[in-house]
Amino acid sequence: MLTVQSLSKSYTRDKVSLNDVSFDAQPGTITAVIGPSGAGKTTLLRSLNQLIRDDAGTVTLNGENLRLLNKRALQRARRNIGMIFQNYNLIDALTVVENVLHGCLGRKSTLRGMLALYSADERAEAMALIGEMGLSEFAFVQCRHLSGGQKQRVGIARALMQHPQVLLCDEPIASLDPKSATLVMDILRQQADNKQLIVVVNLHQVAIARGYADHIVALNQGAKVFDGTAAALTDARVQEIYG
């Protein structure tokens, strides 16, 4: 279980961007974080793997408070936390399989990583994941030639190559058309179910959050204003959250 307790963050003295936020996220579930622009969704997500070092609170995974870890221990803990991004963060000049293989760099020696020396097992695993994403025919195509939806599926395969317990997704469908967005969300659902992943996803689309999330956390001006099931997120609550 991923446990967040009393997380707070201020970038500047006069403004609180995350204000005493607490929630749990369970294996095999999708937690959607929603809220208006500037509510603190990205700050929260990036605090979960300590890409942003928060000012107060705890983030606990496997009994470890990530906020207290030194640099080396945090690097090790981050191997359990994959991340996908709105803008994919792929290397466009590399092929799909090369990008996916980058996902296992964190568990390789620096030298093997630098020389891009991957084992037969790692290559087979990358190809299997590419197949799960429905991208087998593109495995040896440079990512620059893919659509946004295809790139996001490469990003998911790369994150899964890391063997994470947690998958953090920062607005993964914000740049996608509705059909590609559905495909990406379907894949996140399958992966959460099949691999008992803890998925935390920032979303702008309330309908998608209601349709896919087991658990919804809503933020407004840095504070948690809703924490419950999709069924409990009534239209009236949505109105309150978005104002």
| Residue nearer to ligand ATP on the CB measure, 80 or 202 | 202
| Residue nearer to ligand ATP on the CB measure, 45 or 184 | 45
Query: Is residue 110 near ligand ATP by the rule CB under 6 A?
Result: no
* Residue that is written with structure tokens 């990008």 in the block: 99
CA angle 16, 75, 49 (to 5 degrees): 30
Measure CA 216 to chain center.
Answer: 15
Query: Is residue 47 near ligand ATP by the rule CB under 6 A?
Result: no
Query: How far apart are alpha carbons 77 and 37 in whole angstroms?
Result: 30
Query: Is residue 11 near ligand ATP by the rule CB under 6 A?
Result: yes
Q: Which of 23, 35, 90, 213 binds ligand ATP (CB under 6 A)?
A: 35
Query: Is residue 40 near ligand ATP by the rule CB under 6 A?
Result: yes
Q: Are 197 and 28 in contact (CB under 8 A)?
A: yes
Query: Is residue 203 near ligand ATP by the rule CB under 6 A?
Result: no
Q: Which of 1, 6, 28, 38 binds ligand ATP (CB under 6 A)?
A: 38
Number of residues that bind ligand ATP (CB under 6 A): 11
Query: Which residue, among 163, 165, 205, has the nearest Cα to 182 in the 3D structure?
Result: 205
* Residue that is written with structure tokens 């870890």 in the block: 69
Query: How far apart are alpha carbons 219 and 225 in whole angstroms?
Result: 6
Query: Which residue, among 5, 172, 167, 162, has the nearest Cα to 85 in the 3D structure?
Result: 172
Q: Strands 198-202, 166-170: parallel, antiparallel or unpaired by DSSP? A: parallel
Given the rule CB under 6 A, which of 37-45, 101-109, 112-120, 185-193 is the region that contacts ligand ATP? 37-45
Q: Which of 19, 29, 31, 43 binds ligand ATP (CB under 6 A)?
A: 43
Q: Strands 215-220, 29-34: parallel, antiparallel or unpaired by DSSP? A: parallel
Query: Is residue 17 near ligand ATP by the rule CB under 6 A?
Result: yes
Give me the least distance between CB of 38 and ligand ATP, in Å please: 4
Give me the least distance between CB of 190 and ligand ATP, in Å please: 26
Give residues in contact with ligand ATP (CB under 6 A). 11-12, 17, 35, 37-43
